[in-house]
Structure formats: structure tokens, C-alpha cells
Amino acid sequence: MNSKISRENFDIQQPYKPSSESEIKFETYRFYLECYKRYLIDRYHSWQNFALEAFQHSSNLQGIKSFDSRWIERFLKISWNTEYLIGVGSNDSEILRINNQWIPIQSYYSVYTASEAFAYVLDGYKADSHHKALRKVADYFVKSGLDPWDKAYQGARGKRGNEHKPVNFPQNIQIPHNLQRRNVTPLEMIAKCLKAEHFHRIDDIWDKSCGIPKYKFDPGYTGLFHFLYRLRIKSNYEEVDLFISEAPESNIRNFYEALLTLCFWSLLYLEILIIRKCKKKYIIDAGIKYININPRADFLRKRIEFYRDLLKY
């Protein structure tokens, strides 16, 4: 489904113009995240509406008869606790600027650990690694997921370097420049984000020993969670200072809030899918157990109360 935001009214050009390489990268990542956030709000209007659609859309998922409940709860608790730490935040702009170096790591791990739980209940086999869990979840999303988690890039980039293709996007979607701000829609910028990430994944994963020329190598579907993984690597290993940006306070806060939104909505979706696969009482009880330990886990509390009311628990 296309976003209703037109080219004409989607213009959030800031007076700030990044100049250094690190500022340009931060602004690029910030805008990718902002486009995801804006697309979600435009598409579903509220997380409650999205949750209702997710429950309806996943109604055909077959439940799993037996599962390792301790293993699932272990990963969900890590996910919930990490989300709580993200939400602590700060109203102080300078503290938030510094904290943005750690937010991509926390956001990714919160989503990844929930993905481990879902990847397991999806077919009864534990992925137990980043690569396997993200691959299983991305495959499911592309085939059966909701917009925009179903959006991806796939294929080898070819000798021309641009032959990898968008998946579940409108036909002939226009791919903008990563710094384009005028005459661009959120969905087009999401396509740009995933195209760039797919290109980077080929560089990261391909190895000469695999016996396939690099231009023919396909790393599999590249989706939103792979982009979050990219941010985690950048902020944890490769370019730590990039996220402590000298951008305006509004951009610093926007980066944080967009990541927090993506984390919340992604956990909402994964939890609904896990509820469909497992006993709903088990998942709700696990959430309540964590809230009893950490009463300040407000984001999880909102979701658990919604599940309980919706499922007449």
C-alpha cells in the first residue's frame, strides 16, 4: 500500500546542512529512520490500529504444539529490559546527544532478541545466532509480513553494480539520492535505505572461498532489521563518534524518537506473532512477570494491557 504523503507535502528540509562526512552519514541514517516512522504513522495512524491489523493478518498462523518456554522467555526478557533502557532517555539535549551513540545498539538488540524467540516458534528450530535469526524473520516478513516489514531488497548486484531488486515495493518505484529531501516520499527513501544496505551486506558477507564471483553473490533478503544491525555495528565498532553528532537538537531528538518508535512497533509485531504461535496466556503471563520485577516498563505494560483486553484474557 502506498503512503498517502505526496511528494509536494513531504518536505522536512532542515536549515541545518551537514558538511563533514560523519555529519552527512548521521543525517542519512536519521532521515531513513524518520521515513520509516512517518510511513508507519501515515499507514496505520496508531500502534493500536496496527496491532489490530497484525492480529487479523496473522490469523492463519498455525500454533506450535510444544516449545521450550524457558528459552523463549529468556530472549523476551532481554528484549523487554533493553527496550526499557532505551525509553529511559533524557530531556537534556546534551545527554541525549551522547546517549545516541548507544541507542542503535540497544534498539537492535531489543529487536534481535525478540526475533530469536519468533524465529524459534516459527518452525521449532532455534536460530541462536544473529545471521540465522534475521534470515528466518526476513524470509517470513517478505512472504507473509505486514507493510513495511515486508519490504526488502534481494539479488546479486551484477556486473553493472545495480541489478539487485526491490521486493514488495510498487513497480518502477523511484530511488532517490540519500540526501534528497524535496520531491521524495517516505516509501521511496525506505527503498533507498534497503538498496544501500543490501549492497553493503554483499561486501560484508561475500568471501572468495565461497566459489561465487562477488557480482553474482546474493546474501538473501535485506529488510528493516538488517538496517538496524548496520546501525549497531557502526555505533559499536566501526564509527562510534558518528552518532555523537553536532547536528541541531531537533535532529538529535528526532533520531532517538524514530528509533524508539521502530523498536516499539517491531516488538509489538513480533509479540503478536509469538502469541499466535504459542499459548497467549503464556506470553501475557511472561510479560506480567517482568512488569512485576520492573514496574517502570511502561512500553511493555501498554502492549500487555492491550493484548489482555483484546484477547479477553
pLDDT of 313 reads 52
The predicted structure's pLDDT at residue 279: 79
Omega cis (within 30) before 148:
yes
**Which regions of the chain are under pLDDT 50?**
1-6, 8-9, 11, 13
The one-letter amino acid code at 6 reads S
Q: Please tell me the predicted confidence (pLDDT) of residue 149.
A: 98
Residue 16, pLDDT score: 62
CA dist 274 and 268 (Å) reads 10
pLDDT of residue 247: 84
Rounded Cα distance, 231 and 243, in Å: 9
What would the grid cell of residue 245 be? 553528532
Q: What is the pLDDT of residue 10?
A: 53
User: What is the reported pLDDT for 1?
Assistant: 40
| Residue range 143-181, pLDDT digits in tens | 999 999 999 999 999 998 888 999 999 998 999 999 998
CA distance to 39, 138, 189, 210, 271, per residue, from 132 (Å): 28, 10, 27, 18, 19
Instruction: Say which DSSP state 210 is in.
Output: G
Q: How is residue 202 written as a grid cell? A: 554483499
For the full predicted model, state whether its pTM sits above 0.85: yes
Which sign does the torsion angle of CA 71, 72, 77, 82 carry? positive
